[in-house]
Structure 1
Amino acid sequence: MYRCSNAAYQANPVFGLLNLNKPAGWTSRDVVNRVERLVGPARAGHAGTLDPLATGVLVVCVGTATRLIQHVQRLPKRYVATFLLGRRSPSDDVELEPEIIADAPRPSIEEIEQAIPGFIGDLNQTPPIYSAIKVAGQTSYNLARQGESFSLPPRPVTVYQLSVIRYDYPELVLDIHCGSGFYVRALGRDLAASLGTGAVMSGLVRTAIGQLRVEQAVAAEALLETPIAERLISPRLLFKDEECLFCNEAELEELRFGRPVTGDCPGPGDGPWGVIGPDGRLAAMVRLKPDGKLWPKHVFEHAHC
């Protein structure tokens, strides 16, 4: 087993991303726990929960790259989801025993295709009650398991693309390209409801987060086989050139000391934006303040395990 020692970490702090393929049956926390055992004393955190039944891309940020978790969470995501029509469950998936709906209609592929455009674009989606959303300080899934009666308000979400991969009743497989905060389980529930029936999610693969794809992901079980530094991905890959500022060594030194720099913002709003240093690596994140200057939000150390 390969592990980063304290001495090695102090000399070269770990900094980067892991694109991991989460196996079915593992929680996202299980994956992070395994990473932390390998990179300690560096911190690690995942950027977007996958349910235990799901597989696919789980991005784990390591070291000071944990400051990028919110940025990764905002990136577009892609899923292949499998639903069973004519069924329902409190969790909207097969985690809880589904109930078969008596005399449920069997929608045709043409009816499904006609309904799909209504689920593309900017939408309001009601999350499943079995979710990690907090209600009065408790996660909604804990409240649901305790038998509490409550409802969750709809939340704005975005679906960029939605298409049918395969349909053989009761199984429906969809390709979904969506923004952050989107619940795939709820899509199946709502699409089925629009067709006069119910649906539960029986399988889910997250195939991409931003530019990080499942084809390049490392199996979480294989982390013990090689030094973790060999698996780390540069956070530079999270940013397109047009989303970044490029700085020289003098400007980077100013940011390291917590001082602002001047420059043209790469887009509307106040950021944050990535700052690329002279070596081509992600050096910092900056925000535009009312004084018209770009102030450091995060400054990163670059190193290896």
Structure 2
Amino acid sequence: MNGLLHLNKPAGWTSRDAVNRIQRLAKPAKVGHAGTLDPLATGVLVICVGQATRLIEYVQRQPKQYLATFRLGVTSASDDTELELTAVPDAPIPTREAIEAALPQFVGEIQQRPPAYSAIKVDGRRAYDSARRGDLMELAPRPVTIYSIELIRYEYPELVLDIRCGSGTYIRSLGRDLAESLGTGAVMSGLVRTAIGEFRLETAAKVDDVMAGKLKDFLQPPFTALANVPRFEVTPEQAIALRQGKFMELPELDRDTPEYAALDLEGHLVAIVIPRASVWGPKLVFAPG
């Protein structure tokens, strides 16, 4: 069994919870997810099954879109409502105009400090494990890409933003930093991931439907993970050669393109190929079926 499950994760589940449930349906195939969602969050979670687990990094590279709700005037150690909230003394009430004026500084490639309660490893330990032991680490800022931010609704203290961003972005941190730029605090009180690339919320499968049906009926072909990778078609002979790890001349391919997805005549993913000297060779190969 191979393919991608485009799931609508419910609130209260970790991404691991979702994987564990799908794993029971997919045995003995491997299962993994492409992009963590916290228990507080809902929405698009792409789960890769079988050979498609080798394509997780390609899903993770795709832009993500979120509808994020923040509560202004308070802070927490986790930057969301999962932990105790602390009111900001004499917190100002920003105007809508002030918020909109502040948003552009957070668009583009920015430096972002991850939350103390995050899965980032420091000296071999997860930051959230250290935080739970009372050791709140100040994590080093790192570059993330924000493509766009749109103010959707603002009725103090609630602020709702539509955010489109790259991999590795912490939406909690974005709300925290935006609030700090306005002289106040904020915690994330709700999060819906509305898209990962072409995987959109409105077409995501519901958990109950998947559990009640046949998993294979909900799986999309592995090549759907490769939205940003150009494709080309190979003959049956070429497909066999690529699956055997052989190099070949493919003059129709642009050597300035770092990789291509090779599909057979039936549309099945055969390999991801990359240029090697004067020929092309497989980076990843996929068995038939």
Counterpart residue type for residue 138 of structure 2? S
Post-superposition CA distance 1:233-285 (Å, at most 9, x none): 112233348722332222211111011223355574633x3222221232211
Take 1:256 and 1:283, find their aligned partners in 2: how far apart are those partners? 7
In 2 relative to 1, CA 132–110 (structure 1 residues): closer, same or farther, beyond 3 Å? same
Deviation by residue 1:217-236 (Cα, 9 ceiling, x = unmatched)? 11123322111110001122
Q: What is the aligned partner in structure 1 of residue 195 from structure 2?
A: 208
**Matched residue SS, 1:143:** helix
Q: Which residue of 1 aligns with 2:243?
A: 256
Does residue 1:63 correspond to 2:50, yes or no?
yes
For residues 87 and 241 of structure 1, the distance between their equivalents in structure 2, rounded to whole angstroms, comes to: 40
TM-score normalized with structure 2 length: 0.95
1:300 aligns with 2:286: yes
Q: Is the 8 A contact 1:210 1:238 kept in 2?
A: no
State the partner residue of 2:26.
Answer: 39
- Name the SS for the 1:69 alignment partner: helix
Distance 2:266 2:158 in 1: 50
CA contact (8 A) 1:91 1:128 kept: yes
Letter in 2 for 1:294: W
> How does 1:108-257 map onto structure 2 within 5 Å?
108-240=95-227, 243-257=230-244
- Counterpart in 2 of 1:106? 93
**Shift in CA distance, 32/116, structure 1 to aligned 2, threshold 3 Å:** same
1:95-128 Cα offsets, whole Å, 9 max, x none, are 1111111210100000000011111111111111
Q: Tell me: CA distance 1:103–1:302, structure 2 relative to 1, closer, same or farther (3 Å).
A: farther
Q: CA deviation at 1:73?
A: 0.7
The change in CA–CA distance for 1:248 and 1:76 in structure 2 (over 3 A counts) is: same
SS class of match (2:219):
coil
Moved more, 144-153 or 188-197: 144-153
Cα-to-partner distance string for 1:18-74 (whole Å, 9 max, x where unaligned):
000000000100000000100100010000100000000000000010000111111
Residue 191 of structure 1: how far off its partner (Å) = 0.5
Look up the equivalent residue of 2:45 and give its one-letter code: L
Taking a change above 3 Å as real, the CA distance of residues 158 and 268 of structure 1, as seen in their structure-2 partners, is farther
Amino acid at match of 1:114: A
CA 1:123–1:276 in 2, change beyond 3 Å: closer, same or farther? same
Q: 1:96–1:67: structure 2 CA closer, same or farther, 3 Å change rule?
A: same
Please, what is the CA RMSD of the aligned residues? 1.6
Secondary structure at the residue paired with 1:59?
strand
Aligned to 1:8: none
Question: Quick one: which amino acid aligns to residue 297 of structure 1?
Answer: K
CA shift for structure 1 position 302: 4.3
Identity %: 52
Cα distance in structure 2, aligned partners of 1:42 and 1:167? 46
Number of corresponding residues:
288
